[in-house]
Amino acid sequence: MAETRSFDDRDGWIWFDGKLVPWREANVHILTHAMHYASSVFEGQRAYGGVIFKLREHSERLRKSASILGFDLPWSVEEIDNACNEVLKANGLSDAYLRPVAWRGSEQMGVSAQATKPHLAIAAWEWGKYFDPVLAEKGIRLDIAPWRRPAPYTAPVHAKAAGLYMICTMSKHHAENRGYNDALMFDWRGQVAEATGANAFFVKQGKLYTPTPDCFLNGITRQTVMDLARRRGVEVIEKAIWPDELESFEQFFLTGSAAEVTFVQSAGPWNFEVGDLSRQLRQDYDDLVNRRLNF
């Protein structure tokens, strides 16, 4: 869902390198390495009723992503957890989206970044559904992205790295300009990968299928939904999925911390129904994050 207020001009607090600073003062220098060379990693997470869902997993992944890019964060997982909770409380938020982001600073300019220092900031704000709820209820429409997910030997594909999202933004803009809500991305081999910011799931004959995450993130929400499906006795199959298989699937939905569980009615020329299993898993996920389901 589009956010209408500018993100640099708000009231509130952002945790920045160990302390809370006023929102408008949370700035970095124009020569920050991350701005020029994409040396930045981030997380997206949601709080429900004042509790950040899967917070520990997100903090662990943030540190891992930074390590994959070659810089270590001086903050422990526990310290990052505490900082996220501190931001939520300082801004008086209960249901919110949080964005921890870590980056290399401005101590050195050029491709080499050996002398730069790592930085970490965490912001939180109220953010409703990622897609319009009325639209999402009947399923969103996906274009086929003109860009493909890179091979794991060409990019740090298992880090939640800012640079990897450049083609996501380009693909989403391309889709929106053509009247679609988002885009389905293939990988460098031509296999089905994911949407621009969410993992993909398909249903056929009561079984759940999802692409093997060998060149994109094995999302935290993805893993959660797979566990929920197995708890209901649903067989979950991770496999390479080629575009010509899409015609055989009955249902299609996306998962992500921002998107949660979002139904898909079409992707390119392929159409899908919003079926019972998709609805059940969305309900299970909603119950889980709102602590109506113990898991």
Per residue in 64-88, pLDDT tens? 999 999 999 999 999 999 999 999 9
Indicate the residue type of 196.
Answer: T
Element (H, E) at 225: helix 220-231
Does pLDDT of 61 surpass 90?
A: yes
Q: DSSP string spanning 139-178?
A: -EEEEEPSS-BPPTTTS-TTS-BGGGGHHHHHHHHHHHHT
What angle do helix axes 55-68 and 220-231 make, rounded to 10 degrees?
A: 140
Given a cut of 70, whether residue 1 has pLDDT beyond it is no
Q: How many C-beta neighbours within 10 Å does residue 284 have?
A: 21
In terms of Cα–Cα distance, which of 66, 59, 68 is closest to 104? 66
Q: What predicted TM-score, i.e. pTM, was given to this entire model?
A: 0.95
User: What is the SS3 assignment for 36?
Assistant: helix
Catalytic (active site) residue 89:
no
Q: Which two tokens stand for residue 285?
A: 């996920």
What is the average pLDDT value for the chain, to the nearest integer?
A: 96
pLDDT tens-digit readout, 232-278: 999 999 999 999 999 999 999 999 999 999 999 999 999 999 999 99
Instruction: Name the phi and psi angles at 67, rounded to 5.
Output: -65, -40
Cα angle 274-199-156, degrees, rounded to a multiple of 5: 170
- Tens of pLDDT, residues 13-57: 999 999 999 999 999 999 999 999 999 999 999 999 999 999 999
Q: Which residues contact 59 (CB under 8 A, 6 or more apart)?
A: 43, 77, 80, 81, 84, 100
Residue 4: pLDDT above 90? no
pLDDT in the model for residue 294:
75
Q: Which of 129, 138, 160, 204 is catalytic?
A: 160
Residues 204 and 264: their CA atoms lie apart, in Å, by 14
| Cα torsion 203, 208, 212, 215: sign | positive
- Residue 210 belongs to what H/E stretch? strand 207-211
pLDDT at 2: 52
Looking at residue 293, its pLDDT comes to 81
The distance of Cα 126 from the centroid of its chain, to the nearest Å, equals: 17
Domains contained in the chain, CATH given: 13-125 (3.30.470.10), 133-289 (3.20.10.10)
pLDDT (0 to 100) of residue 182: 98
- DSSP designation for 187: B
